[in-house]
Amino acid sequence: MAMTHPPEPIAHGGALSEAIAKHGGEPSQWLDLSTGISPFSLPLPELAKNMWRRLPEMAEASRVGEKAMKYYGGSVLPLAVPGTQAAIQLLPFLRPDTGEVAIVSPTYGEYEKSFRRAGIEVDLVSTLDAAAATRAGIVVLANPNNPDGRETMRDDVFGFVRTQRHRLVIVDEAFADLRRDLSMVGAAGMEPNLIVLRSFGKFFGLAGLRLGFVFAEPGLNRILADRIGPWAVSGPALAIADHAFSRMDLVSELRERIDKAHGQTRSALNMAGVSIVGETPLFFCCEVGDGEEVRDALASHQVLVRSFEHSPSHIRIGLVPDDLSAVRLRETLRLVLPRSA
């Protein structure tokens, strides 16, 4: 893999300070809906002081891995990583001789970046069927997809994995926490050419923790573990995940709050006359004509959403945390959107 000149970072959601630098206001005045992270966080446990002091031990990572396996419904022990982003950085090493990767697109931009960095040719395809027609040794699918919410039925993913044994299939299920019906987690490890990535921070509202899990057969996981190195995940992240996976009562509560906020956000969008073209439990993808313009107009009212170069007519809107924010979103959208006849 040749060294390439490091490209500029991709603009992501969550850059509130940049928005403040441009549009003013205090952080507390902003309604930040620019990410797909739940606005509700798992109540944090009291952390033993030891968690901060000591290097996290392998035994702790294994114990959390076992709980993650049960929680996500996996068949094999996952590898804990400091955010799925950290795993994405390393995916090219799984098949370094692969000349080509097919990415079902548009999707999370860091996949393309990671494979290009490794000198692997990137084929942006629009469906799994199209991926089957390429020479790609690796296929990437986010399910449900970010940012458009597109879903691929589990049977279709299964069929692809089974019939395309010569390809490594990477399924990013960062937004599948409330969509077990779509998840391939249980098949990872059983199917030797399947890898499933799960994000901890999005559903649990703890993105600052940096934690994710990779489900795959042990050989693939060992390559990633070796590349990522020892003590990659912080002690507090492991302790908080341990807590989360043991408290199904708190998980149910989070789920209910997310469901409610999802309904409130949908109503706000509907009442503002915004056309929803896709969704996951944690965000909506909306058709607004000129995404960048609408994003800027909303930002001038301290409401932050995300626009996309690859989908210039869309914006992505995360969940509002409460009634008041729902009203604010609705009214601000009404204010900035061109009225159609």
* Contact footprint for its own copies (CB under 8 A): 1-3, 6-7, 9-10, 12, 14-18, 35, 37, 41, 44, 49-60, 82-83, 85-86, 88-89, 93, 96-97, 110, 114, 117, 201, 205-210, 222-223, 225-237, 240
Residue placing its CB nearer to its own copies in the complex, 34 or 280: 34
Residue placing its CB nearer to its own copies in the complex, 223 or 261: 223
Residue placing its CB nearer to its own copies in the complex, 55 or 153: 55
Q: Judging by DSSP bridges, how do beta strands 168-172 and 138-142 pair with one another?
A: parallel
The least CB distance from residue 68 to its own copies, in Å, is 18
The least CB distance from residue 116 to its own copies, in Å, is 11
d(CA 294, CA 306): 10
Report CA Rg, the chain.
20
Residue placing its CB nearer to its own copies in the complex, 9 or 70: 9
Residue placing its CB nearer to its own copies in the complex, 238 or 336: 238
Residue placing its CB nearer to its own copies in the complex, 158 or 231: 231
Element (H, E) at 159: helix 154-163
> How far from 76 is each of 66, 182, 187, 192, 203, CA to CA, in Å?
9, 18, 9, 12, 21
d(CA 327, CA 259): 17
Tell me how long the chain is: 341
The least CB distance from residue 186 to its own copies, in Å, is 25
Neighbouring-strand partners of residue 138: 101, 168
The least CB distance from residue 216 to its own copies, in Å, is 13
Asked if 170 and 224 touch (Cβ cutoff 8 Å), the reply is no
User: Can you read off the two tokens belonging to residue 119?
Assistant: 């000198």
d(CA 158, CA 213): 20
Neighbouring-strand partners of residue 197: 172, 214
Cα-based angle 321, 326, 332 (whole degrees, multiple of 5): 125
The least CB distance from residue 340 to its own copies, in Å, is 35
Dihedral angle computed from the Cα positions of residues 190, 196, 200 and 205, in that order, rounded to the nearest 10 degrees: -130
Residue placing its CB nearer to its own copies in the complex, 35 or 332: 35
The least CB distance from residue 197 to its own copies, in Å, is 14
Q: Judging by DSSP bridges, how do beta strands 194-199 and 168-172 pair with one another?
A: parallel
The least CB distance from residue 109 to its own copies, in Å, is 11
